[in-house]
Structure formats: structure tokens, C-alpha cells
Structure 1
Amino acid sequence: MTDSRRRDFTPSMKLRNQRLLQDVDCPRAGPLNVAFILLEHFSMPAFTTALDALVTANLLREMPFYRMQTYGVTGGSVRSDLGIDIMVGGELAELLHAQVDLVVVCGGYRVRLETLPTLNEALRRAAQHDCRLGSLWNGSYFLAEAGVMEGHTCTIHPENVALFSETFPQLELSCAPLVVEGARFTSASAGSALDMMLEAMRQRLGDDLARSVEEILACDRPAQPCAWHVEQQLPVPDSHLPEALRTILTLMSSNLEEPLSMSEMSRYVTLSRRQIERLFTRHLDTTPSRHYLELRLTRARQLLTQGNASITEVTLACGFVSTTHFSHCFRDYFGMSPSRARQRS
């Protein structure tokens, strides 16, 4: 049960801690069904990057946002570009009767660009039922082959541009790594696969969830099993902020174990306490003390959930005067005790 005194993190720091908070604002309950069609020699990095976005989203709430299913042309196993065989959950014929929100065709460098009648039928049926369609690497070739890209710009891996242009001269092809147009999403490489899934996530579930997933995948790093002194992963000050404010934010991030006083920071940037408070209010919509506390709690969350430090060690590493004070602050923001947070992780 959450504490009645629970406080909300300021928006930027809430994103950093969303994994434990598990209270993402979302316009619909879900879960949404996503089908990945794996073609022989599909790009494993592109597929796993796209899949990771959905798996990570599911970590942010007890009820999953997504259900994922994999399909192959004939079922059984499909060989990836890395030579690793992946067992799929079903064959394309089964997809014809499935209720799906998004279908993603997973291509790859050595995927043969050919006509696959069952795939064409599955994609056409999905389009007729207002299903969203996406592709990875050269998967857009198969979307075009099925006739579901009329009126849409798309992209494809550079190696396949010549064949695509010759085969589908009526379609507009972009050189961008990612093209999103309404219910069509095409990605040209593993590097843009994450962005594609984040855009698909924004459409259905909102920007809050997509930004939270992006923060986790871009910033969080696993700790060594026996190490408690995890390298802190805290936000880099926005380059558009005033230089004095960026300096203060860097000072705070660099001094979590022994927090600086306002007078110390004031002397360092040659600004008065009131001037510093105005900077935080105007640009971050918070106070210096609250931001500093949230930074320390963020680091505490990382240490608790990524390592095996004791509560006392975390207390000292994050600049709290006692374990009691630390536990109270942690509960106020996360709605649970530090020990409970570790168990949930």
C-alpha cells in the first residue's frame, strides 16, 4: 500500500525513476497485440531492438502494455542473420485469423526479396482491419509487394533501394532511416528500430510511456553482481539552460555523497541564494533543495535495484544523515520502503 504522504517527482526525474514507480499515465489499458514476422535471415539486432522497447514498456506497469507473438512463413524455427535459429510462435496462416494492433515485417541483409503469397494475404487482411503495419531493414519491400503502401512514403535499407525503385516505381522512397506516416512505420536499419517502436508507442499509449522507455534504454546500465558502487547515471544538464544553472546541476550530480550547501554553491557561481532559486523555478519548475533530493533518491534507486549494497551503504553513498531519514524520503517518493524496492527489482 502506498504512503498517503507520497510526493511526485518533477517530470524529468520521474522519467529516470519510472521503472520502479510503475504509474505511467496512459490513455488506454491495453494490452495491445504485436506480431513480428521473421523472414529467413532476418536482422537479429533490428528485431531484438524493436522487441526490447515493448518488453521494457511492460516492466513499467504490473498489467502489461503489450502481448508479443512471432510468426514464420511456415512456423518452426527461422534462422537469423547471426546464424541463430529462433523458434516462432506460429505460422503465417495463423496470423490471418489473429486480432493484432501492429504487424512488423522483419527483414535483413540476406533476406530474399521475393513474392510470398501467404505473407501478402496476411498483410492485406491486416490492412483491411485497420491494423498498423511496420517493417525493419528491407521489410518494406514485402509491404509494397502486398499493395499496402499505396499513398505512403517509406524507407528501405540502402542496399535494396535499386530493386525497390525498379519494382515499385509508383511508390515514394525516402533516404531517411525512419519514416512514419499514419499507420505505416518503416525502418531501414537496426539503428532506427528503437525510434520506430517508440513512435508506434506514442501513437497508441502516449508520450509519457515512450519517453520513459527511451530514458531506460538510453541511460540505464546493469551493475556488476557484487558491486554496490554503481556508476551513477544521472541526466546531463540541457545545453539550452543558462550556464550558471548548468554549473549548479553538475555540482549537484558530482556531490551526492556529501551534498553541498546553498551557500557553497552560491559562492561557486557568484550568485545569491535568491538568484539560484529563481533559476530553478523559471527553468526547471522546482526548487534547488527538491531537485538535489530527487537526484540523491535517483542514485539510491539505482544502487538498490542494480547492486547488492546494504541500506546503510546506500544511505551514506547518497548523503542522507540516517537510515531512518533515508527510508522516510524514499517512501515519500516511491511509495515503498528501500527494502521493498530491492525485492521488486
Structure 2
Amino acid sequence: MSPTNRPRTFDSHFRRSNQAYLKQQGDARPATIRIGFVLLEHFSMMAFTGAVDALVTANLLSCDPLYSFRTLSLDGSEARSDLGIDISVSGALYDLDVGELDLLFVCGGYRTPLLANRQLTEKLQEAGRRGLTLGGLWNGSLLLAWAGLMDGYDCTLHPENRDGLEETCPKVRLSRQPYVIDRDRVSCAGASSALDMMLAVIRQHYGQEVVRGIEEILSCDRIGEQPDRPMPTVASDPTLPDALRAVLELMEANIEEPLGMEEIAALVNLSRRQIERLFQRHVDSTPSKYYLELRITRARRLLLQTSESIAAIAVACGFVSTTHFSHCYRDYFGVSPTQARQNRRG
């Protein structure tokens, strides 16, 4: 394949934004990791959905699903959450073949009746023997500890249940951290830490790049504690030098009519070579390639999220013609804009 026909790859952070739309290279596909959630009565809905949100968002970043999950109750009937909302489940824990899972989580809540259950204990112990990673949300790790599956492990759980765990399971190393991962045991202490716990699990499975992509998609949720703070962009990253942030802001503000590099250099009082060094050091890309990736990412969003014509999108994103836009789009995503829109609708 000649250099001019070689597919382009994203160098910058835009690779995370576009990961799910990139053409799969070769035959290598990630193995889907299978997770089960045992929903105890009055389980914490917020803890459960926080953990699942991370998994579902991870799947959005891949052409093939990174995770599958199923919900289970003890007898297969609906599980009532702490909000009084009944949740349909995939099946009964008693009927579960644990060999069909890679991880199994027990989801508790503030009002969950914490009573030893022989069938639950036996199923959890079987899962432990089969080598599954086991975890607890809120106070779910207490049920794992009662089954003897947390002895010699660090774990955490909701403060309301700490005394009971210390009294009944002295071999468990109780942590005060919001979440803990110790080898093949995972636990979190409450609703707010469930998302962070699952992100840490995903990081072990697929690396930091996938986690950054998830955090980018879910970033709006993190801003709620500071309502006056604007939503973050790359240009607003305080860890970047002011000069580089000024260049990035100019690029983001001039997509329809892209600025030339000499013009950008003059506007920020830097030489072109100085700008190239900043991009190489902090963005791991060249200024021109970053600018193109910024525009092609915006074009992809408009293409798949609006009914604007391809010609209008090409103009809005600074491409000199629909032909130029189509060539660039195919270079990055392996399909033409027309094919991409048809695939999305299909």
C-alpha cells in the first residue's frame, strides 16, 4: 500500500471520541467480559447504575462489545431497589451456571436485609472455586465475607456495616477507602464510589485509554458539584501551557474557515517551530494533523447526529469540497460519509 493510500490514524485525544466509529483493523477483536449482578432486596439503585453506566459507556467506544452483563435475583423474580422501583432480572441466581461469567457482583443497599442465605453462599463459593472475580457494592462484600471469600483480602463497605464485618469476619482486612481492588476481589462503600470502582476495573482490563474515553463521555456528570464551571474542552485543560491553550482555542473557534499555521503563529506571538514543539510535547501530534482531527471529528458528529447534507457538513467543517471531505473521512473511518450515514440509520 502506498503512503498516499495508507489509512490515517488519530494521534490526539480525538482517537477516544471516535474509537467506536473506526474501521476494525485485522482480525483481532477484544473478548467480551461477562459480568453478573446479584440484586439483593432494597439494593442501591445509584450504586448499581453507576457501575453499569461505566460498562455501557465502555461498549460505546468499541466496534465490538467489551462487556456483557446480566442481572440476577435469588429466585428470578423482580428485584426491588431502595427507591421502591422493581427491576426485571435476567434470571435466578440459583439457576446460574457460574462458568458463563467472568465477574460476579453482589449489590446491597442501606435497607438490604443482611441475612446469611445458604444457596447464595454456595453459589458464591462455587464462583470463587471457578476463579471468578467477586465484588460487592455498598454492603454486598459483607455477604462475600460471610461466605469466607474475603479472608486475607482488603475490602471496603458502607460505614453502617463496618462494625458487623469486623466482629464476624476478623480475617478480612477492612479498608476505609471508597473502593478497593485486591487481586480478584473488588468492593465499594457506597453509591458515589461505584462508578470509580468500575472505572478502575475497566482500566485493568483494557487500559487507561478506554477509561479516558469513558470519562470524556461522562464528564458532564462531574461538573455538577461546580455549577458555575463551564464544561471542559481540551483548550481549557489547566495542565497545558497557556500558549498551547491559546492555539487550541483559536482552532476550536475557527473550524468553518480554518486558519493557516502562519496566521495562528502571528496571533499568539510564537514561531511556527515553537508551536510544533508544544504540540509534540503535550499533544503527541502535529498542529496541522490535530486541526484536521478536530474538524473531521466535528464532521462525524454532524454527519451522524443531524440531517444536514454532506455538502453542508463539508463546508461547516472547513473542507474545500465534498470530494476532499469524502477522501479524508474514508481515510480515517474506512467508509465514505454516505456509507457511514447509511450504516448509522441501519
When residues 142 and 26 of structure 1 are mapped into structure 2, their CA distance, relative to the original with a 3 A threshold, is farther
Residue 300 of structure 1: aligned partner: 299
Q: Which runs of 4+ in 1 moved over 6 A?
A: 24-28
The answer (yes or no) to whether the contact 2:234–2:248 under 8 Å persists in 1 is no
**Cα deviation digits, residues 116-135 of structure 1 (max 9, x gap):** 22111111111111110112
The answer (yes or no) to whether the contact 1:24–1:209 under 8 Å persists in 2 is no
Q: What SS does structure 2 have at the residue aligned with 1:17? A: helix
For residues 24 and 71 of structure 1, the distance between their equivalents in structure 2, rounded to whole angstroms, comes to 36
When residues 267 and 197 of structure 1 are mapped into structure 2, their CA distance, relative to the original with a 3 A threshold, is same
Residue 114 of structure 2: aligned partner: 113
Residue 260 of structure 2: aligned partner: 261
Q: TM-score, normalised by structure 2?
A: 0.86
Deviation of 1:311 after TM superposition, in Å, equals 1.9
Residue 333 of structure 1: aligned partner: 332
Deviation of 1:16 after TM superposition, in Å, equals 1.6
Q: Which moved more, 1:310-319 or 1:66-75?
A: 310-319
Deviation of 1:4 after TM superposition, in Å, equals 4.7
Deviation of 1:209 after TM superposition, in Å, equals 3.4
When residues 60 and 308 of structure 1 are mapped into structure 2, their CA distance, relative to the original with a 3 A threshold, is same
Aligned length: 333
Q: Pairwise mapping of residues 176-325 of structure 1 onto structure 2 (< 5 A)?
A: 176-218=177-219, 234-325=233-324
Q: What SS does structure 1 have at the residue aligned with 2:186? A: strand
**Cα deviation digits, residues 231-265 of structure 1 (max 9, x gap):** x9853454332221121112212222222222332
When residues 27 and 34 of structure 1 are mapped into structure 2, their CA distance, relative to the original with a 3 A threshold, is farther
For residues 105 and 306 of structure 1, the distance between their equivalents in structure 2, rounded to whole angstroms, comes to 38
Residue 149 of structure 2: aligned partner: 148
For residues 265 and 196 of structure 2, the distance between their equivalents in structure 1, rounded to whole angstroms, comes to 40
Deviation of 1:316 after TM superposition, in Å, equals 2.6
When residues 187 and 306 of structure 1 are mapped into structure 2, their CA distance, relative to the original with a 3 A threshold, is farther
Identical pairs, percent: 52
For residues 168 and 28 of structure 2, the distance between their equivalents in structure 1, rounded to whole angstroms, comes to 40
Give 5+ residue unaligned stretches, structure 1: 221-231
When residues 42 and 248 of structure 1 are mapped into structure 2, their CA distance, relative to the original with a 3 A threshold, is same
**Cα deviation digits, residues 194-228 of structure 1 (max 9, x gap):** 222222223334444343333333369xxxxxxxx
Q: Pairwise mapping of residues 17-166 of structure 1 onto structure 2 (< 5 A)?
A: 17-21=18-22, 23=24, 29-95=30-96, 97-166=98-167
Q: Which moved more, 1:161-170 or 1:183-192?
A: 161-170
Give 5+ residue unaligned stretches, structure 2: 222-230
Residue 224 of structure 1: aligned partner: none
The answer (yes or no) to whether the contact 1:53–1:198 under 8 Å persists in 2 is yes
Residue 229 of structure 1: aligned partner: none
The alignment yields a C-alpha RMSD, in angstroms, of: 2.7
For residues 216 and 340 of structure 1, the distance between their equivalents in structure 2, rounded to whole angstroms, comes to 25
